[in-house]
Every structure is written in structure tokens, then in C-alpha cells.
Structure 1
Amino acid sequence: MAIKRDNHTLGNSDSDSQNTLRAHFIQLDKLLEQSRALWQVRAFEAKALPWAAQFPKLATTLWALDDAVLDTLDAEQSALVDALSPALQQDLAALGLDWDLSLLISSFAELSLGSDIGSDDIETATSPRIDLTELAHFSAHIKGRKWEQITAFVQHLPDAGLPVLEWCAGKGHLGRLIAKARGVDVLSLEWQAMLCEEGQAFADKWHLSQRFICADAFAIEDKADENTAHQTNPFCAQQQAVALHACGDLHVRLLQLAVAAGTQALAISPCCYHLIQANQYQGLSTLAKHSALRLSRHDLQLPLQQSVIANPKQQALRHQEIAWRLGFDALQRSSRGIDAYLPLPAIKQSQLSGEFTEFCHWAAAQKTVNLAANIDFDAWLEIGKQRQRLTRRIDLAAHLFRRALELWLILDRCCFLQESGYRVSLREFCATSVTPRNALILAQKSSG
């Protein structure tokens, strides 16, 4: 049973546009609060489906799935929802509950229908004005998928005719293309001096109006000194601030500083919501601050748990690593006599070419776990494989809600900007096959 969206609820008329993003946030907030038992879980710590008694049809459906199809389902949100939602609907009906499961396949593109920014407000360039020969130089040393993201971002960037601030610029690949394609001044902020030097050298070589400043984004004060603006705070009102996949608190800091400066236009693609300094998520908008949801860093990783990039070999290695980790986890619980999970540090891919026995001895040394001399490592590995079958199904159920949670987080940012006097649009700037983090927040300071 495929779930269909009722686009009317998104608001297509001008009278609806002001409230579309806010209303959709409220709908998502309700669904996420209702469904916490299914997605706010720690699969590695579970010994059974933690919600099986409440949702027996969903549990039966998950165990009936062949292991070989799990990755394929997990890679495509609509396929995952189509596979699991009928069973979940049956469980909800038996419980007398009514959840709006159509929200599980909400699209950023759908929400752009209710945009606060209309086509009459901003002209969006259709393609960078740069010839193929020059384009080859600009894309040198940039991985293909990353270059696709950069060019798609620029194609959707409103041509505001303003100088641009590139936030968390790295070597300034995005800013470089903007400077060339749009013919505007670009100020690229990056905290690593070496990257600034490399980016500036390229800009100078190609006579681009791009300048780098080396600064710590978290050390910038909210209010700029007019006499030393680019030294203490690079934000100003007559400016367009852009960020492509600035992580966690970094893009949140951009929003806060831009709002404080009254920056006229923003274009941001958020990423890595879990990379925050606080232990729990701090809402930006009034709606999020009043929400009953409490999101840990672990919860904030849920939207990122979708890979459309890994090849079969990478997927096989990832499954092997998880089975090994779970096998050792069962072993260490038995060896220590303590039924508690021990998180292990990251491992090198080369370690997976060895034996499970070697991995266990390495892991035991990392956590100071004493292992007996006569351990049947094959038996513990089998336990790890069986636990992996469980965790994959727990994760698959949680992944039903990853899109909803990501949209909740993005709409928190949108509503914050609206509350701060901006007209806001949300859209997809590229296909999920290029990157699942394909949401683009566009904001323009209201004139009134």
C-alpha cells in the first residue's frame, strides 16, 4: 500500500505560504512525538525488537524480509515506507491510534510549493556562466560527486547581485565557482590556514575576486565593529551568505550571526546535525523550543543513516565490521560479567582483512578486558551475526522516520529565520543519488 501525499496540506496559494513551513513543522512534531518508541532507540544495546509487543505486525514483517533486500530498501525512502507502512498501519489500527504516515515521505521539493520567496522576488540563475575549458580547471582535484553538489548548488543560488560570504569554505571551491559564474566579490572564511593559502593561490592565479580570511567560526562575536568588520565579524547587511554542508553547530552559528547582522540573503545546505557542543539539541525557533522532543546526539544521527553512495564491497565491509563489533560486545559482556555495552573506537579498514580473533584481542586491549585462553571465537562471531540481523531490523524501522526528523530539524531553521524577519524557501538542489543531504534553505530579509 503506497502512501500518497495530500499536497493541499502544504499550501499552494499565496495566502497559505506564510504559514506553510510552520504548519508542517507542527505536523512533524506530533508524528515524531507519537512514534518515539520506534525511532528513539539504540539498536546495539537491544537483545530483541524493543517495541515488538506494541507493534507485532511490523515485527513479523521485518523478520520475514530476506537479509539480501535490506540494503536496497534502506537506500530508497519511498520503497522502505511502502514495504513497512501497511504492517504499521495494521498495528496502529489495533491500538486505536491514528498517525499521519504520509509525512514519512515528505519532500523538500513539495514544501517549495508554499515558498515565502516567489519567482518575482529573486531571479535564480539556471547555469554557471563559464566555458567547458575553464570548468575543467575549476573541477580539478575535486571528487566527481562533490563537484556535482557544488555546481547544482550554484545553479539554484539566487542571483541577488550581492557580495558573497562563503562560510566554512575549505579551499573555497564553492566560492570560486560563484566568483567566476556570477562576477561578484566573494569572501571565503576558513579556519585552517593551509586551506586558505591554497584557495587564495588558485583565486589569484585565475584573477578571481575571491579573498580568504582565516578565522574560527565559533570565536566570531555577534556584533561587528564597523571599522574592522572583516577582522572581527565578516557579516554585514548587504551580503549573501552561503554554506554547502557546514556541519552541526557551524551552520547554526552562521544563522545566528547572519540574523544578528541583518544579512540580506542566505543559502544554506545543512549537514551532520549531531555535531553539536551541547549534550542535547537546542531548538532555534519558538516552536522547537516548546516541543516535547528531547534529542540526543545519537538521535540526531538518524537522518544521516541513509547511504546511496557505498558500493557492494564497502557495504560488505560495513556489515562485517558491525557483526564483529556485536560479536565482541557479546564476548566482553560474558568475560566481564557485566551486561553493558562498551563502545569501541574506529578501526582501520585493513583490520577487517584479518581474523575475528585478532579483532577481539585488539578490542579487548582497547577496553582492558581480560579474555580467557580457551575462547571459541567462531561461536561468538555467530552470535555477532545473529545480533546484526536484529540490529539491522531495528534500524530499518527507525529509518522510516529519518526523513521526518531531518525535515523537522530543517524546518526549525526555517521557522527561526521567519521569526527573524526573513522570507524563506525550502527546496532540493540535487538528486538524492548525488547526496541525501540535498535540502537548500533560501532566505531573504523582508523589506518591511
Structure 2
Amino acid sequence: MNQDKSYNTFNYSKRFEQLNQLLEQSVALWQVRAFEVIALPWAQDFPQLAAAVWMLADDELDELDAEQSLLVEALTPALSEDLKALGQDWDLSLFTESIAATDKILVVDEAQVNGLSIDDEAHFSAHIKGRKWQQITAFMQYLPDLDLPVLEWCAGKGHLGRLIAKARGAEVVSLEWQAPLCEAGQVFADKWHLSQTFVCADAFAIDADTNPFTRQQQVVALHACGDLHVRLLTLAAEAGTQALAISPCCYHLIQASHYQPLFNLAQQSSLKLSRHDLQLPLQQSVIANPKQQALRHQEIAWRLGFDALQRQCRQIDEYLPLPSLKQSQLSGSFTDFCLWAAQMKAVNLAKNRDFEAWLEIGRQRQQLTRRIDLVAHLFRSVLEQWLILDRACFLQEQGYGVCVGEFCANSVTPRNALILAQKMAI
């Protein structure tokens, strides 16, 4: 990110309006609960799109779902034909445009953090699982060096704050509600003689007396979930905090039944986003090992097979959610699964015990739900950008200069959006 120029150079509200218009126009295609329907709900209005998804072989779907550009290439021509027949004009270029492109933010695969020797880095990263260390160092690379004390929000063990304290020599307060994580993080910080202090507190219970936000401060949050990062934004705006750097995650983890927009234009939108809708940006298949893929598809077919069975038994045509499964349950039989599910939900199976027939129905419904989801996934990036810009535009309304981009490659984490904000001089 170019730190020499004002963050407030791009009109994010205009981009937000474009995204909002597309989402409002297309709501019938993406605001769908695939498990609850028994046919393509939009097939009558979009016959070419319906034909296109049914022409796809089952073994193509995961590959398309994993790569947005391939998905757009596969389905956009048919969607365009339907829109032409309907006399509608949607901006489908938004499927492939990135917010990051507007600010020309570089995407890095391997971040180099000034101030750490290789030995230091090995010690710092020794207890950090998976790609988390790559995410932390990439995020760190884009933090402006403002010579301000730092508040690390929803810190966990304080890995990010610890790196900031080490590499920048900044005073860091790491806020986390789980006491064992605070204790473990403080032990590590003390061992390395770092100016990092942990505060064990509930982010939702902060009041005027316990508010850790101040004006002269830089607040950072890497993958704070749902309402937690929204809480950060509102508290920081109230305090007039000088600088913010956040990477949002898990938009669906909210306390309300529906999303509460922050930005004025977002509040005026006709979109009403449920928690289910807010999961759309997170739904992207990762082509992992074949065994895991097979188990995932098996579980969905079993759930849909039992769903068809329970509708018949209860004579109620509605989806009946089941609790999470243990992977060991998938090594049994579909019959065992149905008996377990019937017991869990007090469903009397009566004479409807031709389990193989219901399993075949489940497999057929799975073919349907996968195609419904595939079309909805055309819009997952559009919805995520809408959510990110709701946050960015809210900060601009609050007097911040804002820059939105990506702090790492999608292969390091799909949740790679970064919002940088600095309070503008009045």
C-alpha cells in the first residue's frame, strides 16, 4: 500500500453502489437455501443458466467451485443470454474485479519483516500452526510505522502483537477474553522482554470505564470474527483512534438474526442479510485429498436422503436440520445414519424403511443442491466486497482516510482483505 499518499483518494461509496445494485438485481440467484428446495428455484426466469449447470458433469463442479475465474467463465455466457432475453442489464464485470485493483496494492506470497533475524523468526513461529505465520508476517508488512502504541484486538496468544513489539519496538496492549491464552501470551512476552501487556476482557462488555481505545493509538485485528470486528470499528470511531488495520473474517458470526449495516447507503439498501446469507463469502471448495472430498459429498447425500425420508414420515414439507456428525459415523451405513437421525429428531420411520431408495433420492437432490450453490457462488466475491466496503465507507463517514486491499495471496488465506484507516486532520 502506498503510505505516502492519502488513503482517502478513492470513492468507495461509488463502488459500493455498483455492488449493491448487482446484489439487489440478482437476489433470486444467490439468496437461496439449497437444502430447502426440490428444484432450481430460478429456472423459469433463467432457462439458459439452468441448462448450463445441468450440462456440467458432477466431477467438474469442485474444480469450478474452487477457482472463481473458471466458475465465471463457465456460467456467465448463459446468464448473459438470459439477461438479454429479460431485457435486463447487470454489471457482470464485478464478478472478476477486485477492490485491491483500485488502489494497486501489491499481493505478496512471502513477506519479509524488517528487524527479525532468521533465528528470531524460528523462535517466534515455532508454536504457530499452518499458514498463520505467513498471514501474520504479510499483515505486518503493510502496517504503517506511525510511532504509536498498539492495541491488538481479539489477540488470542498475541502472536501479531508480539511481532509488532519485537520488530517495531512499539508498546502493545493485547486484548483477549480467554484467560489461558492471555497467560500463555504474557509468559512468552516476558521471556522475550517485550513491551506487550495482555488485558483479559470481553469485547462486548467494554464500557466507558474499561474502554481500551484512545485517540493516540494504532488498533490492529487479524481475522477478528463478525460482530467482534464491527465492535472494534464502532469503539475506535467513538474514541477518534488515530489508525486502524483490520482483516475481517466470519461475517455470519453476529448476535442479531440479520446483518446490521454500518454505512449510510448500506442501511438504505433493500438487502436483508441473514446469517445464512453472510456465510456465502466463506463457501469455496478447496480441492483437498480425495478421501475428504468423498466424505463431504457422502455426508451431504445422506443428509438429503434422510431429509426426503423425514418429510414423507412427518407429512411436513420442510427441511429438518440435524446436528453435526462425527466423521466415524460416515464409516457406517446409511441405514444406521437414518436410525440415528430419526432418534435425534423423534421421527417415526414407520413403514418407510426402504433406505436404499431414500439414499438414491438423496444423491439426486445432492446433484441439485450442488448446482444451486454453484450459481450462488458467482456472487460470493461481490457480497464479500459489499461487506468490506460497508466497513470502509463507515470509516470514511467517521472522518478517516481509508485504503482497502489484500495483504497476502489467496493461497495463504482466502480471507485476505485488509482495511487501513487513518484519522484525517480537521
TM-score under structure 1 normalisation? Answer: 0.90
Counterpart pick for 1:357 among 335, 341, 347:
335
**Where does the alignment leave 5 or more consecutive residues of structure 1 unmatched?**
1-13, 116-124, 226-231
1:308-353 Cα deviation digits (max 9, x unpaired): 3743332222111111110110111111111111011111111111
Pick one of 79, 94, 108 that aligns with 2:85.
94
Could you tell me which of 100, 110, 133 is aligned with 2:101? Answer: 110
Q: Residue 128 of structure 1 contacts residue 154 of structure 1 at CA under 8 Å; is this kept in 2?
A: no
SS at match of 1:176: helix
Q: Cα–Cα, structure 1 residues 140 and 16, in superposed 2: closer, same or farther, change >3 Å? A: closer
Structure 1 residues 370-389: Cα deviation after superposition (integer angstroms, max 9, x where no partner): 12366111111111111011
Q: Is the 8 A contact 1:308 1:435 kept in 2?
A: no
Tell me, in whole angstroms, the C-alpha distance in 1 between the residues paired with 2:152 and 2:97: 29
Question: Which whole-Å CA distance do the structure 2 matches of 1:17 and 1:38 have between them?
Answer: 34
Residue 322 of structure 2, aligned match among 344, 354, 358: 344
Match of 1:209 in 2: 195
**What is the aligned-residue identity percentage?**
73
Structure 1 residue aligned with 2:41: 50
Alignment equivalent of 2:346, drawn from 349, 365, 368: 368
Q: Return the alpha-carbon distance in structure 2 between the equivalents of residues 158 and 16 of structure 1.
A: 12
- Secondary structure at 2:199 match in 1: strand
2:72 is matched with which residue?
81
Find the aligned partners of 1:30 and 1:103 in 2 and give their Cα distance. Answer: 11
Tell me how far apart the structure 1 counterparts of residues 289 and 216 of structure 2 sit (CA, whole Å): 44
Residue matched to 2:424: 446
TM-score (norm 2): 0.95
- Kindly indicate whether the alpha-carbon contact (under 8 Å) linking 2:8 and 2:401 is maintained by their aligned counterparts in 1: no
Amino acid aligned to 1:155: Q
Ranges in structure 2 where 5+ consecutive residues have no aligned partner:
106-110
Take 1:19 and 1:270, find their aligned partners in 2: how far apart are those partners?
20
Once the two structures are superposed, residues 376-408 of structure 1 have per-residue CA deviations (whole angstroms, 9 ceiling, x without a partner) of: 111111111110110000000000001000000
Please tell me whether the aligned partners of residues 63 and 287 of structure 2 are also in contact (alpha carbons under 8 angstroms): no
Query: Hey, what's the Cα distance between the residues in 2 that align with 1:48 and 1:330?
Result: 13
- Between the aligned partners of 1:74 and 1:359, the Cα distance in structure 2 is 28
2:254 is aligned to 276
Pairing 1:215-364 to 2, within 5 Å after superposition: 215-221=201-207, 223=208, 225=209, 232-308=210-286, 310-364=288-342
Structure of greater relative contact order (alpha carbons < 8 Å, 6+ residues apart): 2
What secondary structure, in the 3-state scheme, does the structure 2 residue paired with 1:401 have? helix
Whole-angstrom CA distance in 2 between matches of 1:384 and 1:192 = 42
Give the superposition deviation at 1:126. Answer: 5.8
The equivalent position to 2:156 in structure 1, one of 152, 160, 170, is 170
Matched residue of 2:219: which SS? strand
Match of residue 120, structure 2, among 134, 147, 151: 134
Equivalent residue, structure 1, for 2:108: none
Do structure 1's residue 64 and structure 2's residue 64 form an aligned pair? Answer: no
For 2:318 and 2:171, the matched residues in 1 are separated by: 55
SS at match of 1:144: coil
The whole-number CA distance in structure 2 between the counterparts of 1:246 and 1:311 is: 29
- 8 A Cα contact 2:404 2:420, kept in partner: yes
RMSD, aligned CA: 1.7
Of 10, 22, 32, 1:41 maps to: 32
- Judge conservation of contact 1:57–1:87 (CA < 8 Å) in 2: yes
Give the aligned length. Answer: 417
1:36-94 Cα offsets, whole Å, 9 max, x none, are 00001110011111000100111111011111111111111111111100000000001
Other structure's SS at 2:11 match: helix
Matches within 5 A, 1:405-416: 405-416=383-394
